Structure 1
Amino acid sequence: MRELILLRHAHAEPAGTGQADLDRPLSPIGLAEAEAAGRWLKENNFRPDCVLCSPARRTRETLEAVLDITGYVEQKLEDAVYEATPGTLIGLVADRSDVERLMVVGHNPGLERLVPFLTEGTSSDGRGMPPGGVAILTFEDDVAIEPGVAKLTKFWWP
């Protein structure tokens, strides 16, 4: 079984005057959420083998807090994760089919729409992915990454 860990960034500060969305940092609450996500991942033995992370500051800070707890692994900032559609995310995941346990750190609505797309084959608006939320999806080893082939095995949020 292969696993996909989807992690939505934790709560971020609102954009300041003239501040780009990409530059928004985590709030103090967000940092606590990210640390809680890291503890949950570690306690449940969900340490990723590789991480694809949006270049947004809030996703990078979420990932840093998580990896401080779980331990460092191969990471790549992936521009395409920022504002990604489910189709874009599926392409990124499929490109890393060599990874046993892949984590994607990103944003809504892409992540919350990806879960039902991969598990049910629907492109509904999803059921929500709260800040700092984690979804664990599993795939059979030899199956192509496409709509309806995954199983949602765990869902957690701070």
Structure 2
Amino acid sequence: MKYPKQGDEFKMNMYFVQHGIALAKEADPDRPLSPEGRREVECISAYLKKMGVTASRICHSGKTRAEETAQIFSDQIGDGSIYKLLGMEPKDSVKVFATLLESNDTMYVGHLPHMEKLISYLTTGNEDAGVVKFANGGVVCIGSDGENFYIEWYLKPAICNV
């Protein structure tokens, strides 16, 4: 996938997040964030804010745990708004979803295996390459120079020690 160059330089970042730790289905069929999951996501989002990261748009799959995760990030590094986006279910096609990606510092909050396969597809062209192993609440920043996608950085909730 290529993006048109704008001027002499083109640079964009996208942020991919696996939702925070959720309650077990037996405890709550909607699987909202657990208290631990909420604490980890709050910590990571505050850390990103401290780093100066902002997201122009934050999208989620529509599942409760992803929506709650997205809202926590939006309250810290966004404008408080979140958007449900189709194509982010765990087994949805990453090739189709990759055509829907927006530039300008957009964050996508979703699920496994979709997020891991998407990162592999963007960076190698092979969704099964196993480029990254997500942790709940983890954030992968993907950069692009207009020609290629690459991993800028990856943050795991373990950095918070919560």
What per-residue deviation string (whole Å, max 9, x for no partner) do you get for residues 63-87 of structure 1? 1122222242553111321223321
- Which of residues 26, 32, 39 is equivalent to 2:39? 32
Show the counterpart of 1:104: 108
Matches within 5 A, 1:83-94: 83=90, 84-93=92-101
Opposite residue 144 of structure 2, the aligned amino acid is F
Show the counterpart of 2:143: 138
Q: 1:33 to 1:17 in 2, by over 3 A?
A: closer
Opposite residue 95 of structure 2, the aligned amino acid is G
Q: Give the alignment's Cα RMSD to 1 decimal.
A: 1.9
Q: Which residues of structure 2 form unaligned runs of 5+?
A: 1-10, 158-162
Distance in 1 (CA, whole Å) between partners of 2:44 and 2:28 is: 31
- Which of residues 67, 81, 87 is equivalent to 2:88? 81
Distance in 1 (CA, whole Å) between partners of 2:28 and 2:58 is: 30
Q: Which residues of structure 1 form unaligned runs of 5+?
A: 144-148
**Structure 1 vs Structure 2: percent identity of aligned residues?**
24
Q: Aligned pairs, how many?
A: 145
Q: TM-score, normalised by structure 1?
A: 0.82
Show the counterpart of 1:45: 52
Q: Return the offset for 1:18.
A: 8.4
Opposite residue 151 of structure 2, the aligned amino acid is L
Q: TM-score, normalised by structure 2?
A: 0.80
Q: Return the offset for 1:101.
A: 0.9
- The structure with the largest helix share of the pair is 1
Show the counterpart of 1:4: 14
